[in-house]
Amino acid sequence: MKGYAGKLLRVNLSAGTVTDEPLSLPTVHDFIAGLGFGIKYLYDELAPHVDPLGEHNKLLFVPGLLAGTQAQSVSRWLVCTKSPMTGCFARSCCGGDFGAWIRFAGYDFIIVEGKAEKPVYLYVTAEGTQIKDAAELWGKDTGYTQEWLTQQHGKDVRVACIGQAGEKLVKYSAIVSGKRTASRCGGGTIMGTKLLKAVAIKARRNLDLHDPDGFGKLVKEQIEIMRASKEYHKNREYGTTDGAITRNIIGVYPVRNYRYGELKDYQKLSPEAYKEMEIGDFGCYSCSIRCGKIHVVSHGPYAGVRSEGPEYESLWAFTGPIDNTNIESTVAADQLCDDLGLDSISTGVTIGFAYELYEKGIITKDDTDGLELNYGNHVVMMSLIKKIGQREGFGDILAEGTLRAAKHIGKGAEAYAMQTKGLELAGYEPRGLKGTGFGYATSTIGGSHTNGTVMFQEFGFPVPRPVDRFTEEGKTDIVIHNQNRDSSMEVGIVCFFAFLCGDWFGRIFLKMLEAATGIEKFADREYFDKVGERIWNLERAFNVREGFDRTHDTLPQRFQTEPLHTIEAEGEGQILRKLDQFLDEYYHLRGWTQSGVPSREKLQELGLGYVVKDMEPFLTKE
Ligand code: SF4
């Protein structure tokens, strides 16, 4: 099995066992790697209705097939589990080196199951894996944890760990690795439930490819194409910090808990302003774009704070939801979330939700530990982040995310929870990007912007075609196209920023899969696209088995009843009106029932015949 390690590492923390298992060949052929392995193993191994926070949930660390090679921007990795936020399948993507290190250690992926009796960490090498005492690390932040493990095991160790938030089971805890995070869906929370503080891998760079010379030529071609694109140089220069300007100009920057589409003084958050704070950059393994920018605050209340970010989503999450344009606070909040191990999107949206409840009088100072949640107040935002990360006072309620916090608070608070399937939405306004709204609604992991949304075609990206962002009709095929494409891209975990740098993906990436493995059909576009569709359908089947149906493919009512305000014209603006019509067409084109259940025929067509028996109870309800 050239290109593969040919085995996975299974760690059972309850039993204290560590086992190497061979990869199954049919799984390799049907799912290739990466996200394909993540959903296939979780679907097969997780009994329906397992408590996400219980001992029987599993956590997978999954690199893509080309991680650790010289191919550009394909060494990201995934955390797959059943989400404590949504109860759905969860996949969260992370950059850095850790994915490459899993492969260097001789594994295609890692499965962690069970629960330890006391805090532990895993020490993985090509010679074996040890479950080690983490008493020294429990209660410590992610920076300390990574430094301590590096001191213990040497510079060539790479770490994925949780901070205090994961230990305290904040529902949207992140896993932090180097300067990057697997933020979404609560993977860090699952590590916390297992008392698993960290996974540390020590390995030598070493992979065995089928055709190394051919692969090298493809990498050269890929680099030439990427470097010839404008996008490459823009991302290399600014990372994603231009997002605040470009999204505000067209009015899709969610502000004040998704009521407005723009910030009043958004120019204060310009890429040039971030540039002034920049002291360096960093990139994921084998990526010359190096979109990560390191910022240091030189003055004001946050002077001295240094952070490897924020990138666009975090930048937005610390400004839009609370109407804040203090740029230094975005660097400080980013660092604080990384230290505590928090998903910055869910943190920012949950805090924005609390600010609106405070404005409306649904909560008062008596509920917020005396804090005044007034728009623009970033000092209070920082206090709330600390409280959430430590589950202190009011932070204990917000640590549950908007949906659960709203249920706890009552008094109609649920109307202000900006989430889908329990996962907070991202920094793109669905009334100004309607296809993106449909993507949020039908995403298999909840309100994610990286799971098939069509924002880039709505911004003008020409493949398969650009679309008018305000139109609701005629986008269903693109939503499906993107969902399948994103699923297939994640067998090799192609970074989306690199995907946008010239036309290399269709021309080169599939050939790379073939050159790495010698499996010819991986270079066949039709076969490859089918794998993407198979992955998406299996994710859907996972969720159907958990009880999800059409009623969960929805968006907060705000988007469907309240016009998107602009600063100049409150009360005017776009509404998303045709979600139901979209769903009719979406299910039809997907080959699913009108309740959103994959049909027997579709499952058979995709080689998922073994799933039909699980869908029968839902199909016969029709
Ligand atoms: S573009 Fe940025 S996020 Fe993507 S692989 Fe490169 S450094 Fe990582």
The string of pLDDT tens digits covering residues 19-47 is: 999 999 999 999 999 999 999 999 999 99
Substitution site in 179, 284, 313, 501 for ligand 1 pocket (most atoms within 8 Å of beta carbon): 284
pTM of the complete model beyond 0.95: yes
CB neighbour list of residue 5: distance below 8 Å, 6 or more residues apart: 23, 103, 106, 107, 108
Residue with tokens 């986008």: 475
Q: Is the CB of 84 under 6 A from ligand 1?
A: no
Cα(121)–Cα(132) distance, integer angstroms? 5
| Pair of tokens at residue 492 | 């090799």
Cα–ligand 1 centroid distance for 502 (angstroms): 15
- Judge whether residue 622 has pLDDT over 90: no
Atom of ligand 1 nearest to the CA of 72: 5
Kindly give the number of the ligand 1 atom that is closest to the alpha carbon of 76: 5
State whether the beta carbon of 521 lies less than 6 angstroms from ligand 1.
Answer: no
Give the number of the atom of ligand 1 that is nearest the alpha carbon of residue 235: 1
Q: Does residue 290 line the site of ligand 1, with CB under 6 A?
A: yes
Q: Which residue has the tokens 């008062």?
A: 364
State whether the beta carbon of 95 lies less than 6 angstroms from ligand 1.
yes
Q: Is 263 helix (H, G, I), strand (E, B) or coil?
A: coil
Share of the chain above pLDDT 70, in %: 99
Q: Is 179 near ligand 1, meaning CB less than 6 Å away? A: no
pLDDT tens column, 117-167: 999 999 999 899 999 999 999 999 999 999 999 999 999 999 999 999 999
The residue whose CA is least distant from atom 8 of ligand 1 is 284
CA max distance for the chain? 67
Query: Mean pLDDT, the chain, as a whole number?
Result: 96
Confirm or reject: Cβ of 310 under 6 Å from ligand 1: no
pLDDT at 571: 66
Q: Ligand 1: which residue has its CA nearest to atom 5?
A: 73
One-letter identity of residue 161: C
Of 52, 82, 10, the C-alpha closest to 539 is 82
Q: Which of 243, 311, 226 is nearest to 459 (CA)?
A: 243
Report which ligand 1 atom has the smallest distance to the Cα of 283.
Answer: 7
pLDDT of 621 > 80? The answer is no
The residues, any chain, with a CB within 8 Å of residue 512's CB and separated by 6 or more, are 66, 69, 71, 74, 215, 218, 219, 222, 492
Peptide bond into 464 cis (omega under 30): yes
Q: What Rg do the C-alpha atoms of the chain give, in angstroms?
A: 23
74 Cα to the center of ligand 1, angstroms: 9
